[in-house]
Amino acid sequence: MLSLMLRFFLFSLLVFWQCTPNKQTETYRFDQIIVTKFPTNPPPAFPQSFFPEKSTFLQSSEFKTSHIHTKEAFLLLETPKSWEEIQKRIDYRVNQGDWKLIEKNVNETEVSYLLEGFIKKSLSIYFTKNETNNQIRFYFKKHSTY
């Protein structure tokens, strides 16, 4: 139920954001949900070593169970790095061992990763090929109460 409410809230903000042209950071809070347009920093649930250098954060959201523990998070960023550089960086980072690769799917315009982390965490990464900047979406979910 709450996840459905979170998705509706995020969708509503996404539609609202498409109508505003400025790139100033905007943060919205609703109880345990935090949604940010053009965040200066990503949500702390994401390992920053997955992010390519010179990335621009476009949107983020977090659902927290308390002030410090993130239950679910989303991050959208874009980068001028090439398709091959992004894939090489993520593959290298996955091979370091703290995230286990569950599934990887590749087609002409998108690559997706499903990773499992310590203490029942999952991380999904999708990157999409564009002409100018490639977009990467990160989804984090913690499946335990630790």
Domain coordinates of the chain in residue numbers?
2-142
Average pLDDT over residues 131-138: 88
pTM (2 d.p.)? 0.79
The yes or no reply on domain 2-142 and CATH 3.40.50 is no
Residue with the larger pLDDT of the pair 79 and 4: 79
- Whether the CB-CB separation of 70 and 43 falls below 8 Å is answered with yes
**pLDDT for the residue 1:** 47
Q: Which of 78, 88, 64 is nearest to 6 (CA)?
A: 64
Average pLDDT over residues 72-88: 90
**pLDDT for the residue 146:** 58
**pLDDT for the residue 37:** 94
Assess whether pLDDT exceeds 50 at residue 11.
Answer: yes
